Amino acid sequence: MIKKILKPAVIKAAGNKPELIEEYFGNVNTQSKDISIAMLTCPQGWVEPAQKPDFTEYSIVFEGTLKVTTKDKVYEVKAGEAILVEKGEWVQNSTPYEGGAKYIAICIPAFSPELVNRD
């Protein structure tokens, strides 16, 4: 099967500031439970609720810096870099620096509110 995606679904986001989530593949746009692929555009000062998801997330940063905080360490993922957060890891993402960040998030299995386990 081949499926062309004409446009992403815009997903309402959790966090202290509006963030744009454009889902190309996943529960909303393609009814896929196996994988989600979305472009996230986050403004400076955005912070998402901490979570311990039941999915593995692969993120590739295209613009700005994504700050990823775990129980043990803080990572600053800059444009051109990527980060892998394994299923079950406590994590909180934010974009505290000027310009925010734009990145692609790939979740396996697909992101869903039932699997995110927010604090």
CATH number (domain holding residue 68): 2.60.120.10
Cα–Cα distance between 24 and 5 in angstroms, integer? 7
Cα–Cα distance between 102 and 40 in angstroms, integer? 6
Q: Is the pLDDT of residue 26 over 90?
A: yes
Asked if residue 5 belongs to a domain, the reply is no
Residues 34-47: what's their mean pLDDT?
Answer: 97
- Residue 60 has phi, psi (to 5 degrees) of -125, 120
Q: What is the mean pLDDT of the chain?
A: 96
Q: Is the pLDDT of residue 41 over 90?
A: yes
Give the domain range for residue 67.
14-106
Asked if residue 30 belongs to a domain, the reply is yes
Q: Is the pLDDT of residue 13 over 90?
A: no
Asked if residue 111 belongs to a domain, the reply is no
Residues 76-100: what's their mean pLDDT?
Answer: 98
Asked if residue 114 belongs to a domain, the reply is no
Could you give the number of structural domains in the chain? 1
Asked if residue 32 belongs to a domain, the reply is yes
